[in-house]
Amino acid sequence: MSTSGRTDSSRSTGSSSRKERNLFAEIEMASREQYGYWRASLTARIPPAAAVCGCSILTSRLSSRQAKNIDTTTRGDVVEDAYLLCQTLDESSTPEEALQTLQAQSASIDVLVIALQASIEAAQLSTVPVKVAASMYEKISEAKSKPKKREALFPSIIKLLRKIPQDTLVVLMFLLSIAQRLQAKGITVDDREPALFLLRSLFPSSLALSPDQSAGDSVSRLLAIHFDEIPGDMPLVLEGVNHRFAAGKKVNLLSLISGQSGKAQRQSQKPGPRGVREIEGAEDKEIQW
């Protein structure tokens, strides 16, 4: 093969790789312990629609403790609006187009939450490894049948959480942080904790893993209840959500959307430089299986 042939091939491969990267936004997260020190951020890729919707939820002005349920089963119009929002955001070629889409559709919190979950699910991102999930489900099952095991349940789940690959763990923590903000504001999804809805596509479901098909929900619920007890070396601080649009402009969506929403002070968030967001734990810690 000639040198020019190899060069053309390399250019083609590089171009395809760049195009593939541009199809996704990149989450940057850090641990509480490392924040403020030089270190490489933990990163993961998610679809642009999920990135925009997630940042919008984190920066929206939500009424404090105003109870609200998001119904995904009977509100066909809301679900339809959510899927349309996903499609339009994924096709946005500039940051301005993405913002105009949010404004033009007057996306409610209902639409944003449903669109976020739908975008993550449609992307078929890597799930929690089957072996890790099976161990988590087994721990949950033991705690349900043997009350004495409950005290050691959360520490054992954290040990297993550390075995999850970075790309999946960062997405999981990003979604869990969003769920915590919703729960802290009294928002439920289908009358259940938001974490159960947002994380459901990350936990594999199979009778071969557990006879309890709601085992993944139980793990999500446990993580939500003990969110503020998650060790400080885990990715808990959202530093940025970056995306290079088709027109070539790379932006931090978190800062961009935060600026559009007026940079209001929010009870459940601690604003910092570069649009950093750290989400506090929810108030209710009573475990209900």
Q: What's the pLDDT tens digit per position in 243-258?
A: 999 878 789 999 999 8
Model confidence, pTM: 0.83
Q: So what's the pLDDT on residue 38?
A: 58
Q: What's the pLDDT tens digit per position in 196-216?
A: 999 999 999 876 777 777 889
Give the residue-averaged pLDDT of 231-244: 92
Dihedral sign for Cα atoms in the order 211, 216, 223, 173: positive
Q: So what's the pLDDT on residue 283?
A: 43
Domains of the chain: 26-278 (1.10.555)
Q: What's the pLDDT tens digit per position in 153-172?
A: 999 999 999 999 999 999 99
Q: So what's the pLDDT on residue 107?
A: 74
CA distance 130 to 206: 10
Amino acid, res. 109: I
For the chain, counts of helices (H) and of strands (E): 11, 7
CA 239 to chain centre: 13
Instruction: Determine which of 29-43, 74-88, 191-205, 232-246 has the lowest per-residue pLDDT on average.
Output: 29-43
For the cut 60, the answer to whether the pLDDT of residue 268 exceeds it is: no
